[in-house]
Amino acid sequence: MSPRHLLEVDPVRFEKALATGGADTALALFPAELCQPVGAAVRDPLLRVTARIAESDGGVEHRLWVAEECAVLLLDAGEGRRELVTVAPALWTAALAGVLDLGPRRGHPAAAPLAVPTAAIEDLLGEEPTAFARAVKQFDPSGWRLIALLADGAAETEGGATLLLYDTGEAWLLAGSVRDDDTIFEPSSASQIWRILQRIQPSPKEQA
Amino acid sequence: MGTAMIGSNTRYHDPWGRFSLAVPEGWEVVGEPRVALPLVAVESQRPEAFRANLVFTASSLPEEMTLRDWQMGTDALLPTTLSDYLLLDLEHVEIDGVAGIRRLYCHVASGFAVTGEQWAVVHAGRGLALTATVATVDWDDVADAMAECASRLRLLDPESTS
């Protein structure tokens, strides 16, 4: 995942600059020497992915842009820091897998389905930070994480895709059916999730 | 270096009688088989693309070494030998009725983002490992074929076949 750059950027300023002035204004907050490939990727990406993670002690949102020249990850490093990572375009799923801590879970064979209130998921997917915060507060089983991946520009999904994952710490679960007010997460595996991630790709012809 | 094209329903038989394996149709077996590296098979040539491959290795293990011990060593070795290695999955599986492990990982090989899937088992005093390496961008298309290949691996008793 090299090169890796740790940047001290106020996330509130970044979000405000992105909302009001667009990517160019937001990227002006970063050192100029980094901005050319990063700026091109953010301004004109082939694929945009937002990863929202709600967990017992808070929540984070990571962003990822995939372009022809590079893929850019803007990671929430906590305590008001943003970490900027650039990788080759073909490595974006590997970089995302690292960010999500996608890996083996010992309890996989014995995992059971899990019902999660659909309203909480809708809060997580909402645009407002306060709704995201409410979603986080509804989950307090220590060690568990609810992950929403929102992809815009994916080739095989007519422009958009949403992937919902639940990491119990012992097993990976994947959102399936809806029953009454709940979304049912079915037992999955890191292997299955890795395959699904490969389906959220810019078209191979466009990808460098 | 010898090259042999694999035809439909062709099984590769280890010259030392330790295993047989159904290699995907149209793939090529390359190089001369060696005791520790009895099989290298690659998919058909594709310009400017990473060629998916299957590699079978057979390692001599100390008599007291268990599958767990052997694989702990492998877990320690892979991150030091493969660029940008990331372990994705690791599970216990049965390989032709024998307890083994399966691991999934990604890394960078020759500038390509690749996914590796490996099945390993201790059989007849040797550590046998089948490793599939595929361009990550192709992984979803070929993962089933690689799993099928592993499911059709047959472990043989060298003494009964020699």
pLDDT in tens, A134-161: 887 777 556 788 999 999 876 655 556 7
**The pLDDT of residue B102 is above 60:** yes
Inter-chain residue contact A104 with B143, CB threshold 8 Å: no
In whole angstroms, how far apart are CA A190 and each of A96, A107, B76, B91? 13, 12, 20, 11
Phi, psi of B98 (to 5 degrees): -110, 140
How many CA atoms within 13 Å lie on the side-chain side of B82? 21
Residue A204 above 60 pLDDT?
no
Mean pLDDT of B114-137: 96
Nearest residue of chain B to residue A93 (CA atoms): B136
| In the predicted structure, residue B126 carries a pLDDT above the cut 80 | yes
pLDDT per residue over B63-83, tens digit each? 889 999 999 999 999 999 999
One-letter amino acid identity for B3?
A: T
What is the pLDDT at residue A140?
59
Q: Could you give the CA distance from residue B162 to residue A54 in angstroms, rounded to a whole number?
A: 59
Q: Is the Cβ–Cβ distance between B70 and B79 less than 8 Å?
A: no
- CB B106 to CB A94 under 8 A? yes
User: For chain A, what is the largest distance between any 2 Cα atoms, rounded to a whole number of angstroms?
Assistant: 52
Q: Using pLDDT thresholds of 50, 70 and 90, give the confidence band for residue B84.
A: very high
Closest CA to A126 of A52, A184, A59, A76: A52
Minimal-distance CA residue of chain B relative to A88:
B113
- Other beta carbons within 10 angstroms of residue A120's beta carbon come to 21
How far apart, in whole angstroms, are the C-alpha atoms of residue B137 and residue A149? Answer: 19
Q: Choose the mutation target among B84, B118, B119, B142 for the interface with A, i.e. most A CBs under 10 Å.
A: B84
- Collect all residues with Cβ–Cβ distance below 8 Å to A9 and sequence separation of at least 6: A29, A30, A81, A82
How high is the pLDDT of residue A36?
Answer: 65
What average pLDDT does chain A have?
A: 81
Find, in chain B, the residue whose alpha carbon is nearest to that of A193.
B88
Section A114-128 average pLDDT:
86
Q: How high does pLDDT run on average in chain B? A: 91
CA-nearest of B131, B71, B72, B141 to B107 is: B131
- Res A103: pLDDT: 96
What confidence tier does A130 reach under pLDDT thresholds 50, 70, 90? Answer: confident
ipTM of this predicted structure: 0.91
Task: List the single range of A52-56, A196-200, B136-140 with lowest mean pLDDT.
Answer: A52-56
Residue A70 scores a pLDDT above 50: yes
In 3D space, the residue among B118, B128, B104 whose CA is nearest the CA of residue B149 turns out to be: B118
Distances (CA, A) of B127 to A83, A189, B11: 42, 26, 21
Residues 50-109, chain B, touching A (beta carbon < 8 A): 84, 86-91, 104, 106, 108
Inter-chain contact B104–A97, Cβ cutoff 8 Å?
no
Instruction: Out of A109, A190, A204, name the one closest to residue B89 (CB).
Output: A190
Q: What is the mean pLDDT of residues A17-42?
A: 70
Q: Which of A52-66, A99-113, A138-152, B82-96 has the highest mean pLDDT?
A: B82-96
- CA–CA min distance B53, chain A (Å): 18
Instruction: Assess whether the previous peptide bond of A3 is cis (omega < 30° from 0).
Output: yes
Average pLDDT over residues B120-144: 95
Highest mean pLDDT among A40-44, A66-70, A85-89, B76-80: B76-80
Task: For helices A118-125 and A129-137, give the axis angle rounded to 10 degrees.
Answer: 140
Chosen for mutation from B140, B141, B142, B144 (greatest number of chain A CBs closer than 10 Å) is: B140
State residue A183's pLDDT score.
92
The pLDDT score that the predictor gives to residue A107 is 75
Structure tokens at B96: 């032709």
